[in-house]
Every structure is written in C-alpha cells, then in structure tokens.
C-alpha cells in the first residue's frame, strides 16, 4: 500500500496546538511507521455551528428548526498522518469493493467524478426504466456517533488483509476512537486569542509546556470514553465510515438483487429500488443488520414510494426525496426546502447590504460593487452558487421543471436590488 507521491499532503490555514508542517517534514513523519506508532496526538479543536433546517409542520408549512452541528479539526501533524493513511486505505478499500462486486453501491467519499446530480439522475432513471417498482429510502440516525469501535477495527483489518492492525495503524485507530477534544472558544479565551484574528503573529496556540499546564491540567480536554463514536471532520473519518459499512453494503446488494433491483448508499442515506412487494422485507432486513452494527434507523426519514404506469405515464403515491431532489415518476424537482433556504439567505444578505448603505454617506460606487457581489452569489451570473447548481442539474436531468422553479428567483433578486439604488 505504499504511496510514493505527496497527493495526500494538504496545507491547512487554521491555528492549532502545533505549527503547520511543510511537505518535507510531513513526509518524513508519515513514512516512519515507528514514529506514527509513538506519535502523541493532540486533542481536536471543536466549535458548534447552528443552522436552521426547514421542516414541514403538521399543517404542511415549512418552519425553521435549529440544528447544532459540531465542527472538529485536528492538529497539523495529526492531519497529515490522517491524510496519508486515508490515501493508503482508500486504495485498499477500492480493491476490496471491486473484489466484492459492490463498487457501484457506495457513492459518497470516493473519487467517482460524479456529483449528487448524477447520482440522483441515475436512481430516477432506473425507476423510470423499471416502470412498476418501489423505492425504499432509509436514513441512519447519528451515524458517526454510533460507530462501534470493535467492528470498525475488524473491518479495517479486513480491508488491509491483516489479522490484526499493525502498530502504526492501531495508533491511528486509537486516536480516532479514544479521541479527545477541546472547546475552541475556551482555549482561545485561555490564551487571549481573538477569534477574528487568531494568528496575529502566532505559529501555534501554545508551546507543549503551556499545553500541559494550561490546557491538560486545567481540565479543558474531554475524552471519548465510550466504545462507539468517531469524530467527524478529520481527513480519515469519512473513509472509515465507508469501511465500517462494507459487509453491510455487500449484504444489502445481495438483498436488492434477490428483490429484482438495486441498492446504493450515500454515507448514512440508503436507497433500494426493488420490485413491488419487497418493501417490508427490505426495511426489516436492513433494520436488523444495522442493529447488529450498533446503528439505528431514523424512522422519521424512512420513505417507501410506489411507482407504476397508467396510460403509459409513470406516477407515484408520493414524490421520492433523494440527495436534494424529488421525483414523482414524471418530474424531477429541487426540494422545496432547499429553495426556501436559498431565498432566506438571499433576503438576509440584501437586508444586511441595505442597512450598511443606510449608514454611509457616499453610496454611488459602493452600491454598484455590492450589487455585483450579490449577483455573483444569488444569480446565474455567478460561477459557484445554488442557482448555477440548479441550472446544471436541470441540464443533466433534462428537467424543465427545475428551470421553472429557478426562474422566479431572478425577478425577485432584481426587484429587491432595484430598491437599493
């Protein structure tokens, strides 16, 4: 599994307990298996991002619900180790998928040169070609938080073809199962670091002696003492979640084949497309196997959709939601919640610009500049935004319905920007 190039190396622009490493030092570290085996991993730094997720209430109206998402990131040397081992393991994982004949089943965290647009399009095309079929969509609840450590270790050994993990691999495994973290804001407060300008002449948060005295001995470190759970956000975490599910993926492909259909998984989202009458069997067996893994289904997100043809036209009992799109047998649409979220962000950005302009005396040039930025972020005039994504989806999915969804947003944006003049 030797990797001769340095494609795994990535410079990271954040402040942490250690200083950033150049490619030469990082390479020397990660290629020394003894050094990795004895490496002292720093705690992750963690902070929380609160976002609003739109959900339909009992009346069918979209209402925002706060969703707290912890963001964790590893120290610089640790990240380079994770990146290198992710590169190694990815090669072994791809070979394992090929040997099991399940390469087409796993969609996320792989170099497949496809996006959610193609993944969703392929699924909807399969449903269209089958005509009469059922789609069973299943979601795992708190996936990364419930990954069982012993099963992960067995799967890791299986992927690299070893009876036990080599010492260096075990050190990496242990760092991600018995992981520890510090609240970033608490650490910044301890060392009087501004969150707006954390570097400010620094190369690292503190020296090792200061870390031991002011972080470790002051009780700022929290350690995972459970036999399950790995952190999200490290360069290796996503791949490990796939490795964890490899035997499950094999079983589910076989199950789907017995039911005359297919199985695909995108991280914690699974989709079975099967013959009618197999829905209960698929849901029950998937639930049973997931329970053995120590993870559980989120019943609120389970969808069972029936498709059939009537008068030569395919229809469904309800639209299927998959990877940000919906499909009712005829039309592919963007999820209404995604459109509503985008509109909310656009309106908020325009309000902020409007308030800023009210506090300025000479507005002329500034108005033009700010309008340009808003157009770049919230219209087809930009290069990487939701509108461009939607238009790209419309083209690849041959969906005029998506274009009709997006068209009113251009008028709304222009109307609001006209009021800034």
| pLDDT tens sequence across 15-41 | 999 999 999 999 999 999 999 999 999
According to DSSP, the residues that pair with 297 across neighbouring strands are: 140
133 and 88: one domain?
no
Alpha-carbon span 271 to 136, nearest angstrom: 6
Instruction: Give the chain's domain count.
Output: 3
Alpha-carbon span 351 to 182, nearest angstrom: 36
5 lies in some domain: no
55 lies in some domain: yes
Q: What is the pLDDT of residue 4?
A: 56
| Cβ–Cβ under 8 Å, residues 8 and 83 | yes
Q: What is the pLDDT of residue 365?
A: 54
316 and 187: one domain?
no
Q: Measuring CA to CA, which residue among 138, 132, 137 is closest to residue 315?
A: 132
236 lies in some domain: no
Give 139-164 pLDDT, tens digit per residue: 999 999 999 999 999 999 999 999 99
10 lies in some domain: no
Give 358-387 pLDDT, tens digit per residue: 776 455 556 777 888 999 999 999 999 999
163 lies in some domain: yes
End-to-end Cα separation, the chain, in angstroms: 61
- The SS3 assignment for 95 reads helix
* 265's tokens: 């998984």
Give 300-359 pLDDT, tens digit per residue: 999 999 999 999 999 999 999 999 999 999 999 999 999 999 999 999 999 888 887 777
Phi first, then psi: what are they for 44, rounded to 5°? -70, 155
Residue 1's pLDDT band, with cuts at 50, 70 and 90, is very low
176 lies in some domain: yes
358 lies in some domain: yes
According to DSSP, the residues that pair with 264 across neighbouring strands are: 271
271 and 381: one domain?
no
Q: What is the pLDDT of residue 166?
A: 98
- H or E element in which residue 140 lies: strand 133-141
Q: What is the pLDDT of residue 107?
A: 98
123 and 163: one domain?
no
């Amino acid at each position: 599994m030797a990797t001769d190039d340095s494609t795994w190396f990535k410079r990271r622009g954040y402040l942490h307990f250690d200083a950033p490493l150049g490619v030469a030092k990082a390479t020397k570290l990660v290629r020394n298996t003894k050094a990795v085996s004895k490496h002292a991993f720093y705690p992750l730094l963690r902070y929380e991002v609160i976002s609003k997720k739109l959900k339909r209430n009992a009346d069918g109206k979209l209402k925002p619900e706060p969703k707290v998402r912890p963001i964790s990131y590893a120290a610089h040397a640790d990240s380079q180790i994770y990146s290198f081992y992710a590169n190694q393991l990815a090669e072994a994982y791809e070979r394992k998928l090929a040997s099991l004949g399940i390469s087409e089943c796993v969609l996320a965290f792989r170099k497949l040169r496809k996006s959610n647009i193609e993944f969703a399009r392929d699924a909807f095309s399969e449903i269209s070609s089958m005509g009469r079929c059922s789609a069973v969509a299943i979601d795992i609840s708190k996936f990364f938080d419930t990954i069982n450590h012993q099963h992960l270790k067995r799967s890791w050994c299986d992927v690299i073809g070893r009876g036990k993990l080599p010492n260096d691999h075990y050190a990496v495994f242990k760092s991600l199962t018995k992981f520890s973290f510090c609240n970033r804001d608490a650490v910044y407060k301890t060392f009087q670091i501004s969150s707006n300008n954390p570097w400010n002449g620094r190369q690292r948060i503190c020296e090792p002696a200061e870390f031991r005295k002011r972080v470790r001995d002051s009780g700022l470190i929290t350690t995972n003492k459970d036999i399950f759970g790995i952190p999200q956000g490290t360069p290796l975490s996503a791949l490990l979640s796939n490795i964890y599910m490899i035997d499950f993926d094999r079983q589910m492909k076989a199950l789907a084949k017995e039911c005359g259909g297919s199985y695909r998984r995108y991280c914690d989202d699974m989709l079975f497309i099967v013959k009618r009458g197999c829905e209960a069997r698929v849901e029950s067996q998937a639930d049973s196997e997931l329970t053995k893994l120590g993870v559980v289904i989120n019943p609120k997100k389970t969808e069972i959709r029936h498709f059939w043809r009537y008068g030569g036209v395919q229809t469904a009992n309800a639209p299927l939601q998959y990877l940000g799109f919906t499909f009712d047998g005829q039309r592919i649409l963007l999820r209404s919640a995604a459109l509503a979220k985008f509109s909310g962000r656009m309106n908020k950005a325009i309000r902020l610009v409007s308030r800023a302009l009210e506090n300025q005396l000479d507005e002329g040039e500034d108005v033009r500049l700010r309008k340009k930025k808003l157009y770049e972020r919230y219209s087809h005039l930009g290069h990487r935004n939701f509108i461009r994504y939607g238009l790209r989806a419309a083209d690849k999915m041959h969906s005029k319905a998506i274009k009709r969804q997006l068209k009113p947003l251009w008028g709304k944006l222009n109307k609001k920007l006209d009021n800034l003049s």
